[in-house]
Structure formats: structure tokens, C-alpha cells
Homo-oligomer: A and B are copies of this chain.
Amino acid sequence: MAEIIRGRKEQIIDAAAKLFKEKGYNASSMRDLAQTMGMEASSLYSHIKSKEEILESICFGMADKFLTAIKEVNDIYFNAEEKLRMAIRNHVQIITSHPDHSAMFIKEWRGLTEPKLSKFKELRDKYEHEFRVILEDGENEDVFDRVDKKFATLTILSAVNWINEWYHSDGAMTPDEIAKKLSDFIMGGLCKKFVTDPNYKP
């Protein structure tokens, strides 16, 4: 019984994530959501407390996924380049396996109201901070250029998040191929050059 209810709740949340990603959270009504589930809007409330509860559970659930992934990377003592490549790989992995839920974490969280909004922003900032630590490690190891870390972090995150706008599971690239290309681009940039880093292998 409890399992049936929980299962149904997850179905509703998944359907909501898909709808909210397509139309936006504010533009989606509970009646829209009910229709995709083949039920009346009022029936949704047997399983969920409110519209915002859905958004909340998705946003915080994904924040947990992203944070757990990057903390694992930072705990293991690879060098900075490996760390960054791993962090990007994990990020792409999460986005491509949960594209609808990821859209809530990346952009639809704006629909949250206080005090949940502030709580969520804290988690996002934490994730950003973990990325930044990797870049700082890289500079200390003399592997990365001495760049503006905040600037570089935001630029990298914007690139990895943009994937969610164009990725479709039937596309030509696998998640790992996407992660590889993105990492190469971030490491090496666009211009031709020879890398003289000791770790470089042609």
C-alpha cells in the first residue's frame, strides 16, 4: 500500500519534471499535469501536498546528487586535471541520465519561494565552490593557467549546464563522448598549440 502510493507519487513527480522542463514551472498548471497523468487535478493532491512541494523535492534531490558526485571527486587525490575531467564527466552523466530533473536544478528553481529558495541557493553555491577548489588546486600544481577562478568556474559551469538544452538521448554522442569533448575544450581552448605540460601525451 505504502509502496503503491510512493510509486504513484514518483510517477507524478517525473511527469511534472518533464512538463516543467518543456513549458516552464510557472507556465505549467496542475490541470496540465493532471492531464498528462490521465486524472483530475484535484486527485493529484492525494499524492502531493502542493505544486511547490514537487519543485522542491526535485531541486533538493538533484542538489544532493550533484553535491555527492563532486565531493567524491574532491576526496580522492587525483591531480587537478583528472579531478576536473571527473567532475565534468559526473556532471554530464547526471544531466544526461536525468535531463528533466536536471532542468529544475539548473533553471526552474527560480519558482521556489522563501525560505526554500535561500536554502537551495546555498546548495548551488556549495556546488560552485567545489568546482572552484579544483581550479585552485590546478593552479597550485602549476597545471592550469593563473586565471580568475570565479570567472573560470562560472564559464565552465555555463558550458556544462547548456548541455541540458540540446541533449537528446537519441543524439550522435554518448554522455562520455560529450564529457570528453567538453573537457578537452575547457583544457585546451580553440587554438592550435603544443602542450608542454609534463603530463601531456600526444
Contacts and interface: CB of A to CB of B under 8 A. Distances in A.
A144 interface: yes
| Copies held by the complex | 2
Contacts of A157: 162
Interface in A156-201: 157-159, 161-162, 165-166, 181-182, 185-197
Secondary structure class of chain A's binding surface, majority of residues? helix
A147 to B, nearest CB: 7
Contacts of A195: 191-193
21 contacts: A26-B26, A26-B27, A27-B111, A138-B190, A144-B190, A144-B191, A144-B192, A145-B191, A145-B192, A147-B185, A148-B181, A152-B185, A154-B165, A154-B166, A155-B182, A157-B162, A159-B159, A185-B189, A188-B188, A188-B191, A193-B195
Contacts of A135: 190
Contacts of A107: 107
Interface residues of A, number: 42
Interface in A94-130: 107, 110-111
